[in-house]
A and B are shown apart, each in its own frame.
Chain A
Amino acid sequence: MIERTLLIKARLGLHARAAAKLVRVASGFHSKVLLKRIDGPGGGNVSADAKSILSVLMLAASCGTELQASAEGIDEEAAMNAIDRLFDEGFGELGPEASR
C-alpha cells in the first residue's frame, strides 16, 4: 500500500463535476483507493472510496482541504500517480471558472 497527502486546489473543491472526474480515473484501476480527510468534518476521520461518487461527495472537501490518499493493489503505483496528477491539475478547473 502506498500513501500520499494531496491538496485540493480546485477553486470549487470536490464538487460533482470534479468528483466525477476523480471517480472515472480511480475506477480505471484495480487497486482500492481511499481518501481520508485529515481534519475531517466535525473532527471525525471520514474516509471515502474513490470509486464511489457518493462517498467522494460526502467528503465535502472544499478548496484548500488536505486529503490522505491510499492505494492498495496490483497497480497501486500507477493509480496513485494518476490521482496525484488530477489533484495537481486542480481537476482541470483552476482559476476563474470559464463556464458560461
Chain B
Amino acid sequence: MMEQLQEIRCKGLGVSEGIVIGQVLRMHDGTQHVYHWKIDDADLEAERRRFRAAVALASRQVLTIKEKAEERFGKDHAYIFDAHLLLLEDEKLIGDIERHITKEHANAEWAVKVVGDNLLYLYSQIKDDYLRERGSDIEDVMRRLLVALSGAQPGNHSLSEDAVIVSQDLLPSAVAELDLEHARALATDTGGWTSHTAILARGVGIPAVVGLRDFYRRTKTGDRIIVDSSRNEVILHPSAATLKAYQAETATRARQPDIADLAAMGPVRTQDGVEVTLRANVEVPSEFDGVERYGASGVGLYRSEFLLARRGAMVSEDEQRLAYEAIAKVAGEQGAVIRLFDLGGDNLREQFQEPEKNPALGLRAIRFGLCNEDVMRRQVRAILRAAASGHVKIVLPMVADVSDVRRAQGIIQEEARNLRKAGRSLGEVSVGAMIEVPSAVFMADRIARIVDFFELGTNDLVQYTLAVDRGNDEVADWFRTLHPAVLHSIEQSLKAAAHAGIPAIVCGEMASTPAYAVLLIGLGATDLSMTPSSIPRVRRAIAGIDSQQARLIAGECLNCDTADDVENLVRERFTNRWPDLFPSMSLPARGQSQ
C-alpha cells in the first residue's frame, strides 16, 4: 500500500536488549521545537485550513478531557478545561494566529509560537503573582495546538500487534498509561542508560533504543521499523533484503534465555563464597511476574508513585492497601520494600499550583510527604495495614539528614498508634532510608544509627553528587556513573551501614549492569536490587567472580582521578581477570555508562 521508501538507519543507544520488527506508533510528549518556513502565496489558504483543522482537533480533545474530568473530579475542577476550550474558540487568539500566517507567510506552527510567546510575555508582565501563573493555561493550549498540527495523537492508543513506540521523550505518566504488554519496543530521541524509558523497557523486557536525536520527526505512524538494540540502531523503511536478513536472525535467536539461569533462585555466591542477595525493582504490575520468573529474593524497591501516575491524586487508603498487599504477595517471604511516594514538583500538583523553577532541588520525595501530611499519612496507614498479612517495609525517599528521618518516623509511629486505637489490624514495618543525596552520604553514620536499613539509589546519587540532570542531553557527558566521587559516596554509605550493623540494598540501575554489579561487590555491597530481567545476567557475573579480586579492583578505582581513568581501569582489569565473563566488547563503553 505504500511506495518503496529509502531505508533510513539511525544510531542511538540500545538500553534494553532485543530485536523487533514492527510498525511505528508515534507518541507525542507535548513539547517540541518549532521550525519556521515560508509559505508561498498559493499555499496560504491551505495553511490556514490546516491550522483551523488543528484547532478543531484540539477542541475535540479538550472536550473529551473535560467530560472525563467532570466525571472524575466534579464540575468545578473541570472548569479549567472550559477555559481551554474558550481559548480555542477565541476570535482574537485564533484571528491573531491566522493573520500572522497571512501577513508573515509563516507556517502555522510558527504563527502559533509567535502569537503564543507574545501573549505569554504580556502575561509575564502582570503584577499579581497568582494571575501571572495562569499563563500556564495559555501555554497548555498552545502546546496542544502544536501537537495537533504535528498530526500526533495524544492520549489513548490502541496498540497493534507489533507496535513500536516512537517518541521524542516518554513521560513517566505516558509510559504508565501504555499497555506495555502489547508494545513490542521503544525508540526515543532523547534519554540514556538510566532514563525512565530505559528503566521501564528493561523492567518489562522489551527492546529499546534511545538517544536517536531527530528520529521521531522522520517517522509516520504505521511505518515499518526494525529496532536492533544490540547494534544500537533503528532502521526505518527497511529494504526487502534487510527485512529478510532480520527475519532470519530473529527466527534463530527466538528467545533463548538460559534455562539454567532461569532455574536459579535466591541468593548467589561468589567463587570465594560471599553470598549476594538479588532483589527486584518493580513499578508496574506487568513487571510482577518477573520477580518469581527470574528468581528474585523479593522486591527490593517498589516505586509506589506509579499508583498515582495512573489514577491522579485520588488513590484512597483502601486502594493503596490492596496494591501493597498484592506486591507483598508477589514478594513472598523476602518481603517488599515500598518506597514512599517519590513525587517531584509536578506529579501531584494541580493545575493551580505554581510549577517549581528547579524541581530536582525542590519540594519532592520525603519533603513533599512532610509538607502534605495527609497524603503521606494515608500511604503509611495503607502500608501498615498491608503488613498485617504480608511482609512489607518502608523506605523514605531522598532524606537529607537525621531530622527528615525523625520526622517521618514520628508520623509512622503516630499512624501505627492511631490504627491500633481504632482497632485495625496492622503489622510491624521496618523503616529504611534512601541514601541518594550528598548530605545523606556525609551523615550516613548518624542516619544508620536510627534506621533499620539503607537503600542506595545510585541513579539519583550520581545525579546529585555530580550535579547533572540525567534527562538532559546537553550534559550527558558529565553524567558518569563511574565517577570516583560516586564510588566514594557508595563506599562511605556501605561502610556506615556495616558499622551500624544494618543491611544496605543497592537499588539503582548500576546494579543491573553486570560489570557495575561486580564493582559494587568490590565496594562492599552484598545486596542488590534491579530490574527483574537483568537478574540472570548479574547472577551469572557474580557467580563467576572472586569478591577479593573485585575488592582490589574497586580499591584501585577509588584512587583514580577521573571517570575516564575508572572506566579504562575497569575495562582492562575485568577483561584480564574474567575474560569469559567480560569479553572487551561486553563492557559498557564510554557513553553507555551514561
Contacts and interface: CB of A to CB of B under 8 A. Distances in A.
Interface of A: 12-17, 19-21, 23-24, 41, 49, 52-55, 57-58, 60-62, 92, 98-100
B137 interface: yes
Nearest to A98: B76
Nearest to B129: A62
A16 B134 contact: yes
Given A13-B130, A58-B122, A21 B79 contact: yes
A53 B87 contact: yes
Interface in B57-106: 76-77, 79-80, 82-83, 86-87, 90-93
5 contacts: A15-B130, A16-B137, A53-B86, A54-B138, A55-B92
Contacts of A53: 83, 86-87, 90
Given A52-B91, A55-B92, A60 B128 contact: yes
Contact of A13 (B87, B93, B131): B131
B130 A54 contact: no
Contacts of A58: 119, 122-123
Contacts of B350: 99-100
Given A20-B83, A99-B76, A54 B128 contact: no
B352 interface: yes
B83 A41 contact: no
A52 B80 contact: no
Given A98-B76, A99-B352, 4 more contacts: A12-B130, A13-B131, A53-B86, A57-B123
A71 to B, nearest CB: 18
Given A16-B137, A20-B79, A52-B92, A60 B126 contact: yes
A24 B75 CA distance: 15
B244 interface: no
Interface residues of B, number: 27
Contacts of B131: 12-15, 60-62
Interface string B107-122: 0000000000001001
B130 A62 contact: yes
A41 B192 CA distance: 47
A54 B92 contact: yes
A36 B539 CA distance: 72
Contacts of A57: 123, 134, 137-138
A69 B243 CA distance: 69
B127 interface: yes
Contacts of A60: 123, 126-128, 131-132
A60 B87 CA distance: 16
B576 to A, nearest CB: 60
Contacts of B352: 99
A62 B83 contact: no
B92 A17 contact: no
List the 10 shortest-distance A-B pairs measured between CB atoms, nearest first. A16-B83, A62-B128, A20-B83, A53-B86, A60-B126, A20-B82, A16-B137, A17-B79, A54-B90, A54-B93
Contact of A17 (B83, B93, B123, B132): B83
B39 to A, nearest CB: 24
B373 to A, nearest CB: 13
Contacts of B87: 53-54
Contacts of B91: 52
Contacts of A99: 76-77, 350, 352
B129 to A, nearest CB: 9
B92 A20 contact: no
Nearest to A16: B83
Contacts of A62: 128, 130-131
B80 A23 contact: no
A90 B138 CA distance: 23
A52 B127 CA distance: 21
A20 B299 CA distance: 48
Given A15-B131, A99-B76, A99-B352, A41 B93 contact: no
Given A52-B91, A52-B92, A41 B127 contact: yes
